[in-house]
Amino acid sequence: MRNVMDNQAIVELIQNEDYFLITSHVDPDGDNIASQLGLLSIFKELGKHAVIVDQDATPVAYQFLLNDDVIYHQLPPDTRYDYSFVLDAANLDRVGDSVVALIQQGNGVINIDHHTSNTRFGTYNWVEPEACATAIVVYKLAKALGVTLTPEMATRLYAGIITDTGRFRYTNTTLETFEVSADLVRHGANPSYVATQIYDQEPISKLRLLVKVLSSLQSAADGKIHWLQITKSCYDETGSNVYESENMINYATSIKGTKLAILFREMENSDRIRVSFRSKGFVNVDKLAQCFGGGGHAAAAGARIPGTLAEVQQKVLTEACKWV
């Protein structure tokens, strides 16, 4: 693992090169969508050419950030890129096989992230584990490049911050979080507008799914662990999709006395179960997720574990009980 920071080298590379690919992890969330689009705005301001290619679809809640831009899922024909920027991914496997194949065709990888478990997989690495969101790191990159923040940039990066801090409620919320957020508001981000677009435009299908998820609530370890599950049939019966289940784990986290919350989700066309872990400082869920080949942050992490829903639940809950 490389431990050096390549900030200046990344700045110089951007100044000297013109064609870039931008990507991020599968199972997209607010920070990875916002950070990619924020970086795209920076490149446009600098007169560079860049394209975003993600393996998975963009959740509806974050599509308002697109404006006139596009996040592709296949590389458009005749698109040139010399270097690939990988954002908000602790390791290269997190971007998905189809995108890894594209990255391998370029001249190098620029790794921009904030995960403590980041493997420094890039040719150049700008990783700040103390940052609350990758959007903060992209903000610092803009400053290092001397780019004046536009309202579009500010809105996108602000969205990344509020989603990865749970609207400034998670333990990763720091003084820097508020200082950067204030500067983004100063440059045109509208907190009310962003919050409304992300949190107050829920489809009825999501609420129907929530009813089923909450009815699955169970506990373990004398109430120190609360867990929820979502089966494939839940999506079919409610007309919802996997992206609408984002953050539903927070209902388990909010229960008094809970030290660890877990959400188990069956995945379409996969023999793996998607498992999310949350804790409010009682359990380092990044370490717990690593037991199953996953990772993330101390307070929020996840893994994709092979097996049936029942098999994975038994395996995970047996291990989780040792941590509380």
Tens digit of pLDDT for each residue in 60-111? 999 999 999 999 999 999 999 999 999 999 999 999 999 999 999 999 999 9
User: How much is the pLDDT for 215?
Assistant: 97
Mean pLDDT of 123-141: 97
Which DSSP symbol is given to 53? E
- pLDDT of residue 121 exceeding 70, the answer is yes
User: How much is the pLDDT for 4?
Assistant: 56
Mean residue pLDDT across the chain: 95
Among 192, 153, 294, which Cα is nearest to 285's?
294
Mean pLDDT of 153-158: 98
- pLDDT of residue 1 exceeding 80, the answer is no
Give dist(CA 286, CA 301) in Å, integer.
5
CATH 3.10.310.30 placement within the chain: 204-323
What confidence category does residue 242 fall into, taking pLDDT thresholds of 50, 70 and 90?
A: confident
Mean pLDDT of 238-262: 94
What confidence category does residue 20 fall into, taking pLDDT thresholds of 50, 70 and 90?
A: very high
Mean pLDDT of 102-130: 96
CATH 3.90.1640.10 placement within the chain: 7-199
Structural contact between residues 251 and 288, judged by C-beta atoms closer than 8 angstroms: no
Q: DSSP 3-state assignment of 251?
A: helix
pLDDT in tens, 268-283: 888 999 999 999 889 9
% of the chain exceeding 70 in pLDDT: 99
The sign of the CA dihedral 144, 149, 153, 158 is: positive
DSSP string, 97-145: HHHHHHHTTSS-EEEEE--TT----SSEEEE-TTSS-HHHHHHHHHHHT
User: How much is the pLDDT for 3?
Assistant: 46
- pLDDT of residue 228 exceeding 70, the answer is yes
Among 315, 297, 295, which Cα is nearest to 306's?
315
Fold held by 204-323:
Diaminopimelate Epimerase; Chain A, domain 1 (3.10.310)
Which DSSP symbol is given to 95? G
Among 114, 70, 57, 69, which Cα is nearest to 89's?
114
- pLDDT of residue 136 exceeding 90, the answer is yes
Fold held by 7-199:
inorganic pyrophosphatase (n-terminal core) (3.90.1640)
CA distance readout (Å), 164 to 27, 236, 305: 14, 29, 24
Give dist(CA 238, CA 219) in Å, integer.
25
Give dist(CA 84, CA 10) in Å, integer.
12
Mean pLDDT of 107-134: 96
- pLDDT of residue 22 exceeding 60, the answer is yes
% of the chain exceeding 90 in pLDDT: 91
Q: DSSP 3-state assignment of 57?
A: coil
User: How much is the pLDDT for 269?
Assistant: 81
